[in-house]
Amino acid sequence: MLGNLDLSFFSWDLLAPFVIRGLIFSLWLTVVATVGGMVFGTVLALMRLSGKKALDIPAAAYVNTMRSIPLVMVLLWFYLLIPFAIGRPIGAEMSAVITFVAFEAAYFSEIVRAGIQSIPKGQVNAGYALGMSYQQNMKLVILPQAFRNMLPVFLTQTIILFQDTSLVYAIGAYDMLKGFETAGKNLGRPVEAYLLAAVLYFLMCLALSALVRRIQLKVQIIR
């Protein structure tokens, strides 16, 4: 099969009209889902650490539910159920954004919770001894250190998130994988298209993994 590959297909100028749009959407979805998931996840983490059952139980239920369901199933649920609930379609791309923010928040919340719990109790008590409120202590003492501690894991989850963006293919969103598939169909070389898609995903994730390792080393030196 490899001997039948058309090497002329391996040209960025040939593929760019099909792939650029999908690549931009995949990267945009990764950034939006990372930021949105981190904000929502931090709220969930603080709810779980509040010590109040009225906040802890709903947050724990949400996190455990989302982490127990395959992402592609959640994606299909949001794509099919939200338009039914509101009475109008919202499009595959918007469905993907809502799904990824809601889904990734569950994973980011566990990262944030672990980061907060990694801070020694002595520092927490020292903040209270200085007269800080819970909000001030969390904002000025706990969260800055927690975010530094969890940075490598946070970036690793972001890489996984970028890989998972290929699942929006299931609802017809035009991501990077869809761009390669379209190029393969239009140019009559589907095998080469999927091969190149795999190579590009691999190279991008490899570069991001190397960046995570460098950041982790710097964080360890700071400690």
Domains annotated on the chain, with CATH = 2-222 (1.10.3720.10)
> If you write DSSP's letter for every residue of 129-188 in order, what string do you get?
HTT--HHHHIIIIIHHHHHHHHHHHHHHHHHHHHHHGGGGGGGT---HHHHHHHHHHHHT
Q: How much is the pTM?
A: 0.85
Residue 153: which of 66, 68, 38, 74 has the closest Cα? 38
97-110 pLDDT, tens digit per residue, is 999 999 999 999 99
54-77 pLDDT, tens digit per residue, is 999 999 999 999 999 999 999 998
| Close Cβ partners of 113 (under 8 Å, ≥ 6 residues apart) | 45, 48, 49
The predicted model gives 192-202 an average pLDDT of 88
205-221 pLDDT, tens digit per residue, is 999 888 888 877 776 64
Tokens 């909000």 — which residue?
Answer: 135
